[in-house]
């Protein structure tokens, strides 16, 4: 489902990265929260050489928080000693189910690898944000909700923040091919709300800021309620109060419940409503 394979550049040098840092610093006004968005592994020496990392760390040493992400295999005690204490390391756990990680996501590591990395980051006195993927392919809405709920419990043992990311269908990916032929529908916002509502008591902050929300390629309900439902999720992410989610109501709640029943009785994770919508059936 990751579209970055088709939008990554080869041959990026340390000089290029330093130039990018210089340009960023010209615009930086001492914002307290700095997010370094590599869409990869900031702690991978091949991606971000150690001298560039050091320069970035010292440029933002006065920020309250510095967020970057890394796969667990690049996290070890040695590299963590080079990371400043204002850092939060984000881990893409996606799911705590080894089968889902292997069969639906092909992540290339196990949930245990993420947990080991998370514990090590915390022992180094740093914070952990864990990303979970809501509704990877081959999971129907109900299984997707349950998978993310179990993953929240698992991640809560080593995370300061848990961010639930619903799948968004990116261009030139296998998921896009499956989606175009009706074999997949991104999750309903109702499913995301169900996850946030049913997570129960978690120590970590539970947040969600879906990309592509409200569109056919992203998490969506019907056209009438998608925007207000996403706004409610944004309010919840700040307040952590599930009452903020109760504000959403729409007749498509009934449709979502019917879809869940249909998927279960048909034993499918395909887009069961697709056949009823001609535009979608034609892949428009
Ligand atoms: Zn609706």
56 close to 20: Cβ distance less than 8 angstroms: no
Q: Where are the alpha helices (DSSP H) in 86-140?
A: 98-99, 111-123
What does the longest C-alpha to C-alpha distance in the chain come to? 58
pLDDT digits (tens, 9 = 90+) for 197-250: 999 899 999 999 999 999 999 999 999 999 999 999 999 999 999 999 998 999
Instruction: Tell me how far the alpha carbon of residue 245 lies from the centroid of ligand 1, in angstroms.
Output: 14
Instruction: Tell me how far the alpha carbon of residue 222 lies from the centroid of ligand 1, in angstroms.
Output: 4
CB atoms within 10 A of CB 106: 11
Instruction: Tell me how far the alpha carbon of residue 221 lies from the centroid of ligand 1, in angstroms.
Output: 5
Q: What's the CA angle centered on 250, arms 136 and 208, to 5 degrees?
A: 40
Instruction: Tell me how far the alpha carbon of residue 144 lies from the centroid of ligand 1, in angstroms.
Output: 20
Instruction: Tell me how far the alpha carbon of residue 231 lies from the centroid of ligand 1, in angstroms.
Output: 13
Question: Which residues contact residue 181 at a Cβ distance below 8 angstroms, ignoring those fewer than 6 apart?
Answer: 283
Instruction: Tell me how far the alpha carbon of residue 4 lies from the centroid of ligand 1, in angstroms.
Output: 31
Instruction: Tell me how far the alpha carbon of residue 226 lies from the centroid of ligand 1, in angstroms.
Output: 6
Q: Is the pLDDT of residue 279 over 70?
A: no
153 close to 194: Cβ distance less than 8 angstroms: no
Q: Which residues pair with 98 in a beta bridge?
A: none
Question: Which residues contact residue 211 at a Cβ distance below 8 angstroms, ignoring those fewer than 6 apart?
Answer: 165, 168, 218
Backbone angles phi, psi at 174, to 5 degrees: -55, -35
3-class SS at 160? coil
88 close to 127: Cβ distance less than 8 angstroms: yes
Residue 92 has a pLDDT of 97
Instruction: Tell me how far the alpha carbon of residue 188 lies from the centroid of ligand 1, in angstroms.
Output: 10
In angstroms, rounded to a whole number, what is the distance separating the alpha carbons of residues 182 and 210?
22
Instruction: Tell me how far the alpha carbon of residue 225 lies from the centroid of ligand 1, in angstroms.
Output: 4
Residue 7 has a pLDDT of 76
pLDDT digits (tens, 9 = 90+) for 83-135: 999 999 999 999 999 999 999 999 999 999 999 999 999 999 999 999 999 99
């Amino acid at each position: 489902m990751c579209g970055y394979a088709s939008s990554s550049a080869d041959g990026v040098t340390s000089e290029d990265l330093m130039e990018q840092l210089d340009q960023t610093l010209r615009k930086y006004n001492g914002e307290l929260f700095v997010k370094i968005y590599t869409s990869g592994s900031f702690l991978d020496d091949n991606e971000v050489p150690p001298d560039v990392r050091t320069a970035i760390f010292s440029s933002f040493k006065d920020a309250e928080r510095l967020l970057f992400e890394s796969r667990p295999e690049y996290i070890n005690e040695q590299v963590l000693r080079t990371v400043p204490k204002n850092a939060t390391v984000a881990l893409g756990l996606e799911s705590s189910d080894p089968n889902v990680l292997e069969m639906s996501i092909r992540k290339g590591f196990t949930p245990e690898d993420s947990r080991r990395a998370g514990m090590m980051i915390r022992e180094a006195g740093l914070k952990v944000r864990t990303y979970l993927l809501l509704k990877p392919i081959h999971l129907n809405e109900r299984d997707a909700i349950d998978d993310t709920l179990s993953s929240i419990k698992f991640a809560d043992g080593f995370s300061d923040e848990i961010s639930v990311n619903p799948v968004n269908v990116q261009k030139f990916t296998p998921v896009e091919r499956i989606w175009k032929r009706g074999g997949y529908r991104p999750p309903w916002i109702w499913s995301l709300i169900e996850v946030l509502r049913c997570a129960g008591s978690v120590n970590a902050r539970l947040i969600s800021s879906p990309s592509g929300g409200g569109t056919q390629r992203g998490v969506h309900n019907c056209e009438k309620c998608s925007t207000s439902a996403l706004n409610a999720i944004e309010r919840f992410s700040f307040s952590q109060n599930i009452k903020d989610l109760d504000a959403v109501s729409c007749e498509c709640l009934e449709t979502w419940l019917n879809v869940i029943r249909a998927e279960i009785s048909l034993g499918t994770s395909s887009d069961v409503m697709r056949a009823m919508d001609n535009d979608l059936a034609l892949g428009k």
